[in-house]
Amino acid sequence: MSMKLCIIGSGYVGLVSGACFADVGHQVICVDNNQRKVEMLLRGEIPIYEPGLEELVLKNVAAKRLRFTTSTEEGVDGADVVFIAVPTPPQPDGSVDLSYIEQVAREIAAVLKKDQYRVIVDKSTVPVKTGEKVADTIRRYSKPGVVFDVVSNPEFLREGCAVPDLMKPDRIVIGGNSERAVAMMQKIYEPFMAPVLVTDVNSAELIKHAANSFLALKISYINAVARICEASGADVEKVADGIGMDRRIGRNFLNAGIGYGGSCFPKDIAAFIAISDHLGEPFHLLKEVQRINAQQRERFIDRLRDKLWVLRDKRVAVWGLTFKPDTDDVRSSVAIDVVRDLIAEKALVTVFDPKGMEKAVEFKLIEGAHLATSALDAVKDADALVIATEWKEFSAVDFSRVKELMHTPLIFDGRNLLEPAMVRALGFDYTSIGRA
């Protein structure tokens, strides 16, 4: 059954969710207070790069199931369910800045009408107990007689495969304390034919932070194992395969590298630490996860410095700027940190990324770096090549050509993208993570 949905916030989560909800037949209106963004969307331009998203948006706009507006009133007025999908950025102490959520809750409260039942859904990643605060805020700022329920429905999509993640999720979590609201949410998700877990609001909120923290824990675990592999001559890829074949563990998220980044893991782990501290149950294990993650990059730069001896004035080519492949997102990217570390040591850095150059330049994240036009262009006369993001197209580059173009054939592979035997056979001095 088609439902009328309003999504407030047209970032990764809001826009992809809106497009997917429309695609399964719901009537969706996306609200964003950024006029430029809404104008772009109305012109059919997609402000982010996400495989499959553009087609999905255009198709559903043409079918009149997906609309865009800057007006919260217009969005909320005709909707059965209102999703909040605005940013929840970190504060300097790691805790979450909830001011956008509070602002939206107040805007919704101002336009809710008497006797028109509405479900307000929190889709943004928020600390446990935020649902209670949203409900209190709406109650305080709305007219008497307004009826609503607040639901938590965390989103588990990954950037780069957001559309398939949303269309075919492992699970849908609906946290609600009212049967009426939960039943409406179940209807929305019926067409997705995915397992649904119904919980109370607090548990749903916790599931999101606990899930991201566990995934980050897996990454730091394998990175710690990688160090032992380096010290003992073992191969971390083989070790990950061996432990990952145990279905209780699983092979996913056991790829060693220079650490996790992006707009979610660093922020969410810091937030979960802050939340647990606040609740009087400090989560020390997660502090170690953070420590191992930060050290991965430092150790990588140390090894590069050891090899090149002095980094100053050395020509270093860096392939990769985005926090992972198949996205143009450079927020909290370890690759960017590597570039900045090298520039800080006065190395002459040339960068190339298939999708991340524009945003890295726009946000002034790589000032002082030279911009190459291709992967091969970047390695001309380089003393070393650093692979910082595992774009598939990098492994398809002609490495005999790379060797001819480089000044000295040194590769530092921070993502274990290349086959050691292949590059060594070509005469490269090759260093990767946790592999001899």
Query: Contact positions toward ligand UGA, by CB under 6 A?
Result: 125, 155-159, 212, 215, 219, 253-255, 257, 260-262, 264-265, 268, 323-324
Catalytic residue status for 264: yes
Q: Is the dihedral of CA 304, 306, 310, 314 positive or negative?
A: negative
- Is the Cβ–Cβ distance between 376 and 404 less than 8 Å? no
Q: Which two tokens stand for residue 285?
A: 């294990």
Helix axes 201-232, 236-244, angle to 10 degrees: 140
Q: In angstroms, rounded to a whole number, what is the distance separating the alpha carbons of residues 85 and 166?
A: 14
Q: Which two tokens stand for residue 35?
A: 């006029």
- Is the Cβ–Cβ distance between 331 and 321 less than 8 Å? no
Q: How far is the CB of 384 from ligand UGA (least distance, A)?
A: 21
Nearer to ligand UGA (CB atom), residue 107 or residue 122: 122
Q: Which two tokens stand for residue 68?
A: 């865009």
* Residue 196, φ and ψ in degrees, nearest 5: -115, 130
- CB atoms near residue 434 (< 10 Å): 24
Q: How far is the CB of 100 from ligand UGA (least distance, A)?
A: 15
Q: How far is the CB of 73 from ligand UGA (least distance, A)?
A: 28
Report the chain's terminal Cα–Cα distance, integer Å.
57
| 148-152 and 172-176 beta bridge pairing | antiparallel
Q: How far is the CB of 323 from ligand UGA (least distance, A)?
A: 4
Q: How far is the CB of 103 from ligand UGA (least distance, A)?
A: 21
Nearer to ligand UGA (CB atom), residue 323 or residue 428: 323
Q: Considering 6, 20, 30, 264, which one is annotated as catalytic? A: 264
Q: Which residues are catalytic?
A: 264
